[in-house]
Amino acid sequence: MDKEALKILLNYKRISSKTYSFYQITAEEFEIAKKAGLMFDNIVLSHNQAIDWLFEAKSKVDKEHVTALFLASLSSNRLEWRSGLPAYVLSSHFPSHQYSKTDENNSFYCPICGDMLIDDPQEIDLSFYNYTRFTSGGEMVIDDRFEVSRLAFCLDQHSRLSKVAPNQDDITIFKNIIDTILQSGEDDTPNDLEKSIASKKLFKSNHWQRRFLLEILSFCNIIESPRATGYTSKFIPPNKRYRDDHVSEWHYPIRLWRGQDGINKAALNYWFGEYL
């Protein structure tokens, strides 16, 4: 990893959510990060082009590649290794389709997948996508704003990563996370669970990184409530995801989980059985 290029990428953060402004990167810095494969020229994509990209990227990644790197991210804190799994799960049963605007089909998002890039091809800042890969472990995929290009980019980048086998520390951390989930009190919420994991200092992480990690396990149906399932066996577009009336910062489906739901052992076995 080119440390200078990585530093430039990590400085490329959004400093205002209102104006969408970024720390300025000089042209010279951009070229350094671009040469290292960490920053990119913006691209212009339509919904249908993003779907073609997604299916191409998906064909280059398999379950073993994303689960091994997800586990290997735990002791190494390589968050970009963690980001492949949520994109892979969400795309597992993603419907192959095209969008065309008609009078009946006149909405702000695609009725099949919920993608919001439906009006015209739009310019996409892939460098910012990559910034979130390296800093959150999956935020842009988990976020409620659904864009096919985010999944495609994550899988495309993941396909370029070498396979890394998780070590014993990774497995121990993961087992401790699972034990902590199982030890939850009946009424514990996702917030309580995140606090339990934080108090045990199971792995290097901040609040948001722990939260996104739990959200990823929920995408994989491992943290699952009977009221909301993950995406292992079906794609659920944003407008079809069940929402309760409670205000929660957590996304679907973990927002509906309570401690009494425990974990879905079949899902745990499906995704990580070979390591447990």
* Distance between CA atoms of residues 203 and 140, nearest Å: 22
Q: By C-alpha distance, which of 58, 129, 130 is closest to 88?
A: 58
Contact range with Zn ion by CB under 5 A, out of 82-90, 114-122, 158-166, 255-263: 114-122
Single out the segment in contact with Zn ion by CB under 5 A; choices: 112-120, 138-146, 182-190, 217-225.
Answer: 112-120
Closest CB to Zn ion among 25 and 112? Answer: 112
Contact 149, 50 (CB under 8 A): yes
Nearer to Zn ion, 112 or 263 (CB): 112
147 counts as binding Zn ion under rule CB under 5 A: no
Identity of the residue, 31 or 52, whose beta carbon is nearer to Zn ion in the bound complex:
52
117 binds Zn ion (CB under 5 A): no
Write down the least CB distance from residue 177 to Zn ion, Å.
34
Contact 36, 5 (CB under 8 A): yes
* Residue among 115 and 170 whose Cβ is closer to Zn ion: 115
Nearest residue (CB) to Zn ion, 112 versus 236: 112
Between 112 and 164, name the residue whose CB sits nearer to Zn ion: 112
Q: List CB contacts of 201: < 8 A, sequence separation 6 or more.
A: none
Residue 57 in the binding site for Zn ion (CB under 5 A): no
CA 65 – CA 165 distance, rounded (Å): 9
Contact between 11 and 23 (Cβ < 8 Å) = yes
Q: Is 115 in the site for Zn ion (CB under 5 A)?
A: yes
Local structure of 45: helix, strand or coil: strand
Min. distance of Cβ 147 from Zn ion in angstroms?
A: 10
Closest residue to Zn ion: CB criterion: 110
Member of 110, 151, 197, 222 binding Zn ion (CB under 5 A): 110
Three-state secondary structure call for residue 2: coil
Nearest-approach distance from CB 146 to Zn ion, in angstroms: 9
Q: Which of 36, 43, 112, 116 binds Zn ion (CB under 5 A)?
A: 112
Q: Does 151 bind Zn ion (CB under 5 A)?
A: no
* Residue 215 interacts with Zn ion (CB under 5 A): yes or no: no
Pick the closest to residue 60 from 88, 93, 37 (CA basis): 88
Residue among 89, 113, 217, 256 that touches Zn ion (CB under 5 A): 113
Q: How far is the CB of 148 from Zn ion (least distance, A)?
A: 7
- 116 lies in the binding site for Zn ion (CB under 5 A): no
The number of residues that bind Zn ion (CB under 5 A) is 4
Contact assessment for residue 150 and residue 87, using Cβ atoms and an 8 Å cutoff:
yes
Q: Which two tokens stand for residue 179?
A: 């034990």
Give percent helix, percent strand, percent coil of the chain, each to the nearest 5: 50, 5, 45
The residue ranges of DSSP E strands in the chain, in sequence order, are 14-16, 21-22, 43-45, 122-124
Residue 14 backbone phi and psi in degrees, to 5: -75, 125
Residues in contact with Zn ion by the rule CB under 5 A? 110, 112-113, 115
